[in-house]
Amino acid sequence: MAGTKCIITGVPGVGKTTVITEALKRLEEAGRPYAYLSFGSFMFEVAAKKGLVKNRDEMRLLGKDDQRQLQQEAAGEIARIDGDVIVDTHASVKTPKGYLPGLPEWVLEALRPDLFVLIETDEDQILGRRFGDPSRIRDLDTYGALRSHQSFNRAIAAAYAMKTGCTVAIVTNADHLLDRAVDQLVTLLS
Ligand code: AMP
Ligand code: MG
């Protein structure tokens, strides 16, 4: 198995994709390129083809079986991609039926991560970012609900580490301190 597999997660609106995009630019410039894979995009491609959803934010409202099926198909495709890869995904997905693990056993086995990253920040900052993002249909969670979700994500990340032996790193993406988050991620991936 060649290559480093890095899973990067964070609740919707934490700025995951922004931090990753900036870190990837720097790593490329430093001669340490990674392929960027969005788990949600792999799922959405299949979901849209099947006519299940019209946008990616509808997927977390699908029935559990549909979500698991899409998840498995995405994991299978991603597992076939060799080399150094970053997978932009979710430690858990907040669905109407509770938190769905982003990496249940069969997904973990397919992906075999070396490093698992949680991107976090204070709940009030996440809420502010969700309000300010017209491109997505973000959940209007309460402060407490977001806090529970971030805390659940730490717990499930520990379970993923137990299963695979991957390391877990927490990167804070605080308001006005994007560069600091990018620096941390670049260091982890260098
Ligand atoms: P994103 O663009 O990262 O917010 O992902 C879009 C959507 O894809 C999420 O809201 C989930 O519905 C779905 N998704 C992404 N990663 C996973 C995963 N590992 N397991 C289940 N659903 C996922
Ligand atoms: Mg994103």
| Residue entry with tokens 């804070």 | 172
Ligand 1 contact via 7 beta carbon (within 6 Å): no
Full-model pTM:
0.96
**Measured distance CA(164)–CA(57) in Å, rounded:** 29
Of 23, 51, 41, 33, whose CA–CA distance to 90 is shortest? 41
Q: Is the pLDDT assigned to residue 1 strictly greater than 70?
A: no
CB 35 within 8 A of CB 83: yes
Can you read off the two tokens belonging to residue 59? 């997927």
Q: Is the pLDDT assigned to residue 123 strictly greater than 80?
A: yes
One-letter amino acid at 88 equals D
**Measured distance CA(167)–CA(16) in Å, rounded:** 18
Position 28 scores a pLDDT of 97
Q: What is the domain-level CATH number for residue 138?
A: 3.40.50.300
Domain count within the chain: 1
Range of the domain at 35: 5-189
Position 88 scores a pLDDT of 97
Ligand 1 contact via 101 beta carbon (within 6 Å): no
List CB contacts of 9: < 8 A, sequence separation 6 or more.
Answer: 16, 89, 90, 91, 102, 116, 117, 118, 119, 153, 157
Confidence grade of residue 137 (pLDDT, cut at 50, 70, 90): confident
Ligand 1: nearest atom to the Cα of 57? 10
Atom 13 in ligand 1: residue holding the nearest Cα: 40
Confidence grade of residue 153 (pLDDT, cut at 50, 70, 90): very high
pLDDT digits (tens, 9 = 90+) for 43-64: 999 999 999 999 999 999 999 9
CB 74 within 8 A of CB 90: no
Confidence grade of residue 21 (pLDDT, cut at 50, 70, 90): very high
